[in-house]
Amino acid sequence: MSDDLGVDRELAQHLYRQMLLIRRFEERAAQEYAYQKIGGFLHLYIGEEAVAVGGISTLRADDYVVSHYRDHGHALAKGSDPKRVMAELFGKVTGLCKGKGGSMHLFDVEHGMMGGYAIVAGGMPIAAGHALASQYLGDGRVTLDFFGDGAANEGEFHETLNLASLWKLPIAFVLENNYYAMGTRVDRASAEPQLWKRAAAYALPGVRIDGMDVLEVRREVAAAVQRARNGEGPSLVEAMTYRFRGHSMADPARYRPRQEEEEWKARDPLPLFEQKLRSAGFISDEELAQIAQAVEEQVEAAVRFADESPFPLPEALYEDVYAES
């Protein structure tokens, strides 16, 4: 165990590989979108990898994650098969949701990925429902709920935090503040742009952290998860991060100053963490090359799988419409 990093060599390399997988997966998804193999909207997670990887690394395998429409990174960090994630983006029958959900609605019950939700803040009450079920069943599970800064101005945010605090639900809230709700900067939409302070209104502990530092995210989310698991109720963690691309592939992001973008790209979570690993003696050039090659092969295999998979048959429209009672 390193006193500097707080994680051992094996875990540190795992965190790095997970972030690199998300980065390469998203870059390739952007290419496939340009080739018109992915339809609809595509919201990329490039730049925010440390939040998903750091936060989800604190969970047990059977814990739950609820996400928003920028959900690929959360699914991959929770353990979803990249092949099935890419196939879902392609609308193929081998996808996580049989090609019916697409980019914004990834769902993988086997790995506790309980959905991406396209409605802003729409996943928050559902996340509270999972936590309530865990509390009722006494199964010891914690729900980790990810949402963006735009969600903090929605009614579901306030309703969910209020009930979760009142009932001391086993849930932790991670607010991914990338400064822009679509094209609107947070300080133009929120009278108090330090969103973590809203936790006080619901008697919750709140904290603002560096969302570009995977170890800081892991440390602070671990405390929130443990608090929830101990029956002490939820916490609000505001992770300050930045998306390196537009809101979606359809957004050229001309509303953001170029200087601001360059300043944030200089804080890219991948090279920053790589430097920490090097300084701690946790990784070598050879290991970095091996990880990079393995990730490239994994992403290439995912694209090949998606390409070769069939589309759903027309009659599949009538399947999975109602749950069997």
Task: Please state the domain extents for the chain.
Answer: 9-305
CB atoms within 10 A of CB 152: 26
CA distance 82 to 88: 10
CATH superfamily entry for domain 9-305: Thiamin diphosphate (ThDP)-binding fold, Pyr/PP domains (3.40.50.970)
CA distance 251 to 237: 28
CA distance 291 to 287: 6
Backbone angles phi, psi at 21, to 5 degrees: -60, -45
Per-residue pLDDT of the chain (325 residues; tens, 9 = 90+): 444 799 999 999 999 999 999 999 999 999 999 999 999 999 999 999 999 999 999 999 999 999 999 999 999 999 999 999 999 999 999 999 999 999 999 999 999 999 999 999 999 999 999 999 999 999 999 999 999 999 999 999 999 999 999 999 999 999 999 999 999 999 999 999 999 999 999 999 999 999 999 999 999 999 999 999 999 999 999 999 999 999 999 999 999 999 999 999 999 999 999 999 999 999 999 999 999 999 999 999 999 999 999 999 999 999 988 887 6
Q: Which tokens is 52 given? A: 């998903």
Q: Which tokens is 85 given? A: 């994630």
Q: Integer distance in angstroms from the first to the last C-alpha of the chain?
A: 50
Closest Cα partner for 27 from 86, 83, 74, 69? 86
> Among all chains, which residue has been given the structure tokens 């196939």?
87
State pTM to two decimals.
Answer: 0.96
Instruction: Specify the pairing of strand 236-240 against strand 206-210.
Output: parallel
For residue 173, give the DSSP letter: E
Q: What angle do CA 277, 77, 97 make, to 5 degrees?
A: 160
CA distance 34 to 309: 19
CA distance 256 to 269: 20
